[in-house]
Amino acid sequence: MVGQNPHNRSEDLGFPLYMTFCAVIAALSGFNVGWHISVPNMPQTVITKCSAATYSLLISFADHGFTVGAFALGGLAGSYITTYSNVKFGRRHNIMISCGWTILGGILSATSINIGMYSVGRAFVGIGAGMCGSSVAIYVSEISTKKSRGALGSLFELFLNLGLLLTQVAGRYMAYPPVWRVLWVIPTIIAAIQLAVLFFFTVECPRRLTADGQVDKARAVLQRLRQGADIDTEFQALLNARQREVDSGSKKMNILDIILCKDRSVTWNTVIVMVVQASNQIGGIGPMSVYSVNFLAKIFGGDLELGTNISIANATANIIATFIAVIFMHKVGRKGFMRLAPLSITAAILFTFTYSMGCGVIPWLIAPELLPLSALPPGSALGCLSNWLFNFVINTVWPYQDANLGNYSFTVFAGINFLIFLFVLFCMPETTGKDLDQKTENNPKLADEELHGTAGSPNGSDDSFNTDRKVNNVHHIENAH
């Protein structure tokens, strides 16, 4: 075909430029999530102790903890919303909506004059964070090639850790009134830029478009993402997958369907997604991100500057470890990095480093690789709900845990990490290199048939999904009732 190179198959590509650009812009949401997770850390003393006369908020430490919890509660709400918004609006538009929540919440936080206004702003930002967590993972997975999916899927966590680091650095020099408010302005501006770029320069996922019956548009989008390569085989595989869903009577699943085990395989894979997402929080990284400065300062005799330096070192370790995961994800695999992550709790920086390789990046990759399209929005939403629920629980319980256990506080997380290690070792399948629509990763013959469009055809031909019937049969698969 015109514009295609028959010797350059799209399924063999690594990182086409435009596809990588779209993935990077979508994953930029992670920067704002990381920034807003850590932004109360540095100016905590200023916010809780300064008076209104100095353009700050006069709130108690307990109220400050409540505002941290408001962010997590917003994340819970945002994650639940994606069960419906990912279906109704699509992945790309859902990310744009999350940018809107981030902008609104950032404005409220930056201009707040009382605890109520500040808390609502934090909750709104949390809604945006919850919505983008699920949507970015699906979007990046569905536009990526098999070779690039692991690395590009890790970008969300890489940007998140970059946000954590830059927040710590900026907060060190801006933690005084009224300049601390600028810390909430920075991610608001970034979210506005991201929203504009998403709207004008990116495309929706071809997989989603075929599910909506927009076959011609899906082909044009896939061709643009694959930059002149021959997309015939890859596109036919997409169409064949949608046709199999039509032939099998596949219906859109909701959260209740998954909970009631209407499809045991889907329910079990959703449990895996939820445990992996929970590992993003319950291993102890929350206190290291939100309460690290004061916690470490207390350990070192009240030396706030030393606590700040160690927190910045932790954030730097996050970036380095995530970058390593980006480079080696396709070779080491999802399960390999997940086994590594929970084993280390011996030191703050080493713990953070190994966490970022596994529990940091894999939760944002795993849902699209384990769940079928019909169950992806609710299954991914349940995973993110698990993440934000434990984010709220851990960050709420930690002050009491620290007060009662003192220097042994992290032994609780050591035990939890060991249990996660056992679960990953015995229960989590490897999904590296798996096609998103591939149902049987242990059957190489079936996988090859699905890739080359011959599954379901006794003669190995492509007549299972011909041009005459594709639009009528594929129409609105994801929205089918």
| Strand ranges in 140-271 using DSSP code E only, listed in sequence order | 229-230
Q: What is the CATH number of the domain that holds 332?
A: 1.20.1250.20
pLDDT attached to residue 274: 92
466 part of a folded domain: no
28 DSSP assignment: T
406 DSSP assignment: G
155 part of a folded domain: yes
Instruction: Please say if the pLDDT value at position 443 is more than 60.
Output: no
* Both structure tokens of 5: 């190179």
248 DSSP assignment: T
pLDDT attached to residue 335: 58
Model confidence at 476, in pLDDT bands (50, 70, 90)? very low
Percent of the chain whose pLDDT exceeds 90: 27
Model confidence at 59, in pLDDT bands (50, 70, 90)? very low
465 part of a folded domain: no
* Both structure tokens of 253: 């699943």
Query: Could you tell me the pTM of the whole model?
Result: 0.75
440 part of a folded domain: no
Model confidence at 416, in pLDDT bands (50, 70, 90)? confident
Q: DSSP string of 12-38?
A: G----HHHHHHHHHHHTHHHHHHHHHH
Instruction: Please say if the pLDDT value at position 186 is more than 90.
Output: yes
Cα 20 to its chain centre, rounded Å, is: 17
Looking at the DSSP assignment, which residues form a beta bridge with residue 5? 229
Arithmetic mean of pLDDT, 89-105: 94
Looking at the DSSP assignment, which residues form a beta bridge with residue 229? 5
Range of the domain at 344: 5-427
Query: Residues near 261 by Cβ (< 8 Å), separated by ≥ 6?
Result: 267
As a dihedral over the C-alpha atoms of residue 29, residue 150, residue 271, residue 93, rounded to 10 degrees, the angle is 40
32 part of a folded domain: yes
Measured from the Cβ of residue 364, the count of other Cβ atoms closer than 10 Å reads 30
400 part of a folded domain: yes
370 part of a folded domain: yes
173 part of a folded domain: yes
Measured from the Cβ of residue 387, the count of other Cβ atoms closer than 10 Å reads 28
Write out pLDDT tens, residues 306-331: 666 666 666 676 677 666 766 666 56
* Both structure tokens of 360: 């940091």
Determine the Cα angle at 305 with ends 299 and 308, to 5°.
75
Q: Number of structural domains, the chain? A: 1
